[in-house]
Amino acid sequence: MAKLILVVDDEADFSELLQFWLRNRDYEVVAAGTGTEALEQARRRLPDAILVDLLLPDLDGLTLCEIFRRHHATRHAPVIMISAVSTDVTRYSAKIAGAAAFLGKPLDFEQLRSLLELLLPPAPARPAPASAPESITES
């Protein structure tokens, strides 16, 4: 079953590129352009991971991250903060808000791939059912 990733970015071109890249790596993707829309999508879809831009038109990414960390339905989903504002202060603020990682723009897709593999390990394979012996004989 594909992992569901919520992409939250108000920059349409970047969001579409990110969604395309994720889908080509077999992730299911849902997108939001505002913090309010992201909260609604997260409530309805329960994502496995959330990629959040720092600067959004309504709620900033830090506030959104804090809400995701507090809410029971999303606290399990790692948040990766993405922003062109990549300073020590923004990285530290993202960590304090509960982000699992911070990536700067322009995005290093190889680094994102590595992070997703680390944060979203594949589900363990189910063991094959034990087969019953074909015949049981008495000795």
For 51-69, the pLDDT digits (tens) are 999 999 999 999 999 999 9
Mean pLDDT of 24-48: 96
For 93-111, the pLDDT digits (tens) are 999 999 999 999 999 999 9
Mean pLDDT of 23-31: 97
Question: Which pLDDT score is estimated for 122?
Answer: 76
Ramachandran assignment for 120, one of left (phi > 0), alpha (psi -120 to 50 degrees), beta (any other): beta
Q: The pTM is what?
A: 0.85
For 68-96, the pLDDT digits (tens) are 999 988 999 999 999 999 889 999 999 99
DSSP calls for the chain: -PPEEEEE-S-HHHHHHHHHHHHTTT-EEEEESSHHHHHHHHHHH--SEEEEES--SSS-HHHHHHHHHHSTTTTTS-EEEEES---HHHHHHHHHHT-SEEEESSP-HHHHHHHHHHHSPPPPPPPPPPPPPS-----
Share of the chain above pLDDT 70, in %: 88
Q: Report whether 73 contacts 43 (CB < 8 A).
A: yes
Question: Which pLDDT score is estimated for 134?
Answer: 45
Delineate the domains of the chain, giving CATH numbers in brackets.
Answer: 10-45+59-119 (3.40.50.2300)
Could you give the angle at the alpha carbon of 64 between the alpha carbons of 59 and 66, nearest 5°? 135
